[in-house]
Structure 1
């Protein structure tokens, strides 16, 4: 019961923190154990929180043994089915690495039809590539099956996690599930050559996980991918969806990353020229903050300016109400997260967990203040309505702020004569780069057709 309550709270928190959570095969969230979930690990604590909250049954974890700091914490982790695993870097000099007990606990968990979540990369870093996959997860699966004559029927489910922006509140998350598979067909090979079979299946798992996420092994290509997404996402999304019948946004990002790798490999000179142009374009964008489409007539720009200003004025009262009630509880988790850890990878998850406690606390204080200020106190339905307004306008205020920020950049350009030349240079260069991207896309699509 306690786990279910925690799961509900976490579900609510992640659906508030993220604007959209997209799942390619949601029916697999109800898959039964024994099950081992193998996922990439781009966003530290947020990854297990999201997966545990979304699966319909309790999921156990393998976690770094260093977090088991005292008996009280250990009891909590045992209740949450967290199994400690030891790493070489966590051991004292001369201490021998021994995960025999950890593996035994995993076997027992799976033998009870439990589900186990493992991040086989072993560490979490914000980067668009899959790091080396360790063999531990596959070894656990084979070990449990071997001591049960391969009759357990453990299913292995590969998962690809992708965040549109891992550090930003109200960004998007994509969960991509592969096809679950069992180990029965590998029994003979495993019993003949354990090491080679584990390595072979680990390599297959890695290939599957690469296909389920955005994998860009080169830092320069990753930077270019981020710049193209920022500058041309709308145009590329429109083109690809028109050609491929409402293709999902994650798949569009995969096509962009695959195209970048293709051009880099087969047309290196064109790739270098494209990279230089996009770097220049990105620098101009940073100077001008070109957040709107300026490829329209002067009259339309002024009309759009009027509509945007009117929208901001109409939304201002709701924005102010939301800011008054939400700014402090919004800022406190972010400040505390930065104080608790300097590693950016942890900021989102720590902020969300702290926010689970901070927001209800402050909302409770605000409601108590109303009952203290007014005599007689407001009726319960009025307090409930006030609570709902605080939550709704809090989300509205964040969207309004970003909308207003984009509009301020738009109006500065429309009203500034000094920025006109730079804006025109930006638009001309953007058209030129778009032609280059169209050419690159044509080469990429043609080669894919020929290979098929």
Structure 2
């Protein structure tokens, strides 16, 4: 049986490298934080990975592909996706079906062999990924946790006579946009929770201890993800954390070069605003009231906040940038034309297959991973048949490089165009440009006032 295990290691490793390569291109920036400190590099001790669940299948893939490459984590996912050939492929990637009441089965009986398998893999010092929330949701807060993590953890401990160094690692998955392609993604690995500290309590009162572990997991997860407690002001605070990121970075003495620094700055913004609201500070309530009007004005002007934050440029600077954009336009056109089908088809398929847009990014990523290699292979083979294989290789290289350039160019163009429009608005003294600048400056002043009061 050992040769099968070795073969699976090779297969799993190849699949992991392929998916990670795809993810690096699917996201504009993809970073992991605190992995070295909080995850074992090999099979040193058993670990349950406990991430928040704001997307679909791609959440688990993101964790697997950012964890240490020496590990092959198993993860639980909804049973209804394990059908036919797809089920075989999913199981080969160490995915395990978890059954819910809505599946119309006896969940206790159906899930018992799955939980037993989790215990077996934990006993072998492997990693098992379980979503403590039990379902997905995009809102920027942690939903109520189920007791699944606690139950499997203690089931594994009991199977090993409580001589078992199991650790639960909270994981924070942080997206700046869940459905759009080429956005930023940050995964934060939290401080491990040592189950040993709960064993004595478990012997005295198992049910109470399950709740204590669940609470410890909840506290750990909140530290590594965006969590807004004021549900009534959720949209406003979520918007303000982006608007005030740079002001918060400046206060904290951090650069904006890493997504983790931006994450820490946004966490600070949320905490200060919520503390200000709890203290009934007028500035906090004013900030909440003003951001809705600011966002509405931005939308009407078809501008982004970062354009207003940076301010207008001189017409000369914008013209120079425009000339650079004109030079890159032909490469953008080539990259877009050659790569349009494998780029667009997964997006169309995702929208037709799933009304729930939580699944769109998963289908887009996996579709791209499959279609782009096939598309490039077809380009190579057709060119080889009608011309020469060297030309085919050159065309494939051109398609890949120009495609990467096209994505980068589209982002730069949007920023340049927004900055140009805003600069022209200022030059022509349009009231909306001045209004936006004053509104933003007012919000920054109010945030600094809140910051001084809550840290005093």
User: Where does residue 123 of structure 1 map in the other structure?
Assistant: 135
Structure 1 residues not aligned, in runs of 5+ = 447-452
Equivalent residue for 1:422, pick from 404, 413, 432: 432
User: Where does residue 78 of structure 2 map in the other structure?
Assistant: 64
What TM-score do the two structures reach when normalised by structure 1?
Answer: 0.89
Matched, 1:148 2:160: yes
Deviation at 1:112, TM superposition (A): 2.5
State the secondary structure of the residue aligned to 1:186: helix
Q: More deviation in 73-82 or 329-338?
A: 73-82
Matched residues in 2 for 1:233 and 1:180: separation? 28
Matched, 1:37 2:45: no
Matched, 1:166 2:175: no
User: Where does residue 445 of structure 2 map in the other structure?
Assistant: 435
Equivalent residue for 2:16, pick from 7, 16, 20: 7
Matched, 1:237 2:242: no
User: Where does residue 103 of structure 1 map in the other structure?
Assistant: 115
Deviation at 1:90, TM superposition (A): 2.4
Structure 2 residues not aligned, in runs of 5+ = 1-9
Count of aligned positions: 437
Matched residues in 2 for 1:294 and 1:112: separation? 53
Equivalent residue for 1:410, pick from 406, 419, 426: 419
Instruction: Show CA shifts across 1:218-237 (max 9, x none).
Output: 34433123322444434443
Equivalent residue for 1:389, pick from 391, 398, 404: 398
Matched residues in 2 for 1:351 and 1:401: separation? 19
Residue 14 and residue 399 in structure 1: after superposition, are their counterparts in 2 closer, same or farther (change >3 A)? same
Deviation at 1:253, TM superposition (A): 1.3
Deviation at 1:255, TM superposition (A): 0.8
Matched residues in 2 for 1:287 and 1:434: separation? 21
Deviation at 1:66, TM superposition (A): 2.5
Matched residues in 2 for 1:284 and 1:341: separation? 33
Residue 333 and residue 73 in structure 1: after superposition, are their counterparts in 2 closer, same or farther (change >3 A)? closer
Deviation at 1:378, TM superposition (A): 4.8
User: Where does residue 449 of structure 1 map in the other structure?
Assistant: none
Cα contact 2:76–2:129 (8 A) shared by 1: yes
Instruction: Show CA shifts across 1:168-227 (max 9, x none).
Output: 222112221122233223222212211111111111111111111111133443312332
User: Where does residue 445 of structure 1 map in the other structure?
Assistant: 455
Cα contact 2:177–2:183 (8 A) shared by 1: yes
Matched residues in 2 for 1:80 and 1:244: separation? 36
Matched, 1:370 2:380: no
What TM-score do the two structures reach when normalised by structure 2?
Answer: 0.88
User: Where does residue 450 of structure 1 map in the other structure?
Assistant: none
Equivalent residue for 1:90, pick from 98, 103, 114: 103
Cα contact 2:237–2:288 (8 A) shared by 1: no
Deviation at 1:296, TM superposition (A): 6.1
User: Where does residue 298 of structure 2 map in the other structure?
Assistant: 285
RMSD: 2.6
Deviation at 1:303, TM superposition (A): 1.7
Equivalent residue for 1:132, pick from 111, 129, 144: 144
User: Where does residue 350 of structure 1 map in the other structure?
Assistant: 363
**1:147-226 pair list within 5 angstroms:** 147-226=159-238
Q: More deviation in 74-83 or 141-150?
A: 74-83
Cα contact 1:167–1:344 (8 A) shared by 2: yes
Instruction: Show CA shifts across 1:12-49 (max 9, x none).
Output: 01111112222222322625342211111111111111
